Amino acid sequence: MVAPVITFIAVVALIFIARVYDDLPVKAPECRLKSTFGLSCPTCGGTRSMQALAHGEFGRALQFNPMVFLGVITSFVWLFFGIRSYVQGYKPLSVPEQNRRIKRTTGVILGLLLINWVYLIIFLE
């Protein structure tokens, strides 16, 4: 239950920061990969995506960086399932099953990041 709550709090804090980003005295640095090679990095568009989310522009957020949008949605879903599991008293999975799930989830996330990067290279340029 701790991990979903901490993740949710971090995401909400990032959305708040994105909401006031234009008023902050410090800005994120320019993307080194893009400025050096003209190629979007896997996180390009992330700040703009969070800003769009903070202003309720879900379509624009998805367009700027689909993985950021998916990550925010996933944090809300993970919190919901964490609370449900806690309330219903689910027992933790066995260590081997946890390891299998971690490996499978890592593979899925890496695959999605690669697909997201290709999307950003093609459409964000």
Q: pLDDT tens for residues 64-119? A: 999 999 999 999 999 999 999 889 988 888 999 999 999 999 999 999 999 999 99
Alpha-carbon gap, residue 100 to 61, rounded angstroms = 32
- Supply the pLDDT for residue 125: 65
Contact of 10 with 79, CB cutoff 8 Å: no
- Supply the pLDDT for residue 50: 93
Place of tokens 């893009």: 34
* CA-to-CA dists, residue 65 to 18, 43, 92, 95, 118, angstroms: 14, 7, 33, 34, 11
Q: pLDDT tens for residues 106-122? A: 999 999 999 999 999 99
CA-CA-CA-CA torsion for 74, 51, 113, 84, nearest 10 degrees? -10
Q: pLDDT tens for residues 9-48? A: 999 999 999 999 888 888 888 888 888 988 888 888 999 9
